[in-house]
Amino acid sequence: MTDVPPDMPPTAPGEATQPAASASRAVRSAIEWVVIIAGALIVALVVRTFLIQPFYIPSASMEPELEIHDRVLVNKLSYHLHDIHRGDIVVFKRPKCEGGEPAVKDLIKRVIGLPGEQVQGQGGAVYIDGRRLEEPYLPAGTTTSDFGPVTVPAHHIWVMGDNRSNSKDSRFLCDNGPTFIARGEVVGRAFVRVWPPSRLGGL
């Protein structure tokens, strides 16, 4: 039987393995955090790319519904499940013919005319296929400049801003005449205003 030298006290069972166990736990914890963060980033990327994306409002064209500096969430999946509806507020890719601020890649307007419909502005109101369009989302007294009549091509929409006197929209978005927005250029439907908190609400 070998004696333990007096300057080397006996080691309690498991005591010698504690530093290694602690290091192993630290490594596992670090790996778990890396996986969690990577997973969160992937989920955020998938949501932003395919489901929901925030957008900033840079102009007054949709006042009073949307004001400058408001932020909205856009459902990018909506129109993969159903058709575009009149009255929807949509974000779409800025037409190349539009000579606005190059940094602005997307625009936001309200859907007024659908494929195959005849749209006209007359006497301060909008007419769809000869019938006056009721627009309860506009402030009382709002008038629309005369235009058209124009017929919306297949797979396109006609969009206008609620601020009819200060909106570059399908009436004169481009210098070469009426501008129809292709269905494939629509990013999605704005469905909620999330900023500022005082104006939080559905659209």
Which DSSP letter does residue 160 get?
E
Q: Is 58 left (phi over 0), alpha (psi -120 to 50) or beta?
A: alpha
- pLDDT tens-digit readout, 61-108: 999 999 999 999 999 998 989 999 999 999 999 988 876 667 778 999
The model carries a pTM of: 0.76
What's the average model confidence in pLDDT over 117-141?
Answer: 96
Sequence letter at residue 148: G
Say how far apart CA 180 and CA 160 lie, in whole Å.
11
What's the average model confidence in pLDDT over 49-65?
Answer: 88
Reported as a pLDDT band with limits 50, 70 and 90, residue 157 is very high
Q: Is the pLDDT of residue 139 over 70?
A: yes
- Which one has a higher pLDDT value, 25 or 164? 164
Residue 27 vs residues 8, 15, 20, 32, 165: alpha-carbon distances, Å: 31, 20, 11, 9, 63
The residues near 47 (Cβ < 8 Å, ≥ 6 apart) are none
Q: Name the residues annotated as catalytic.
A: 61, 109
Q: Is the pLDDT of residue 35 over 80?
A: no
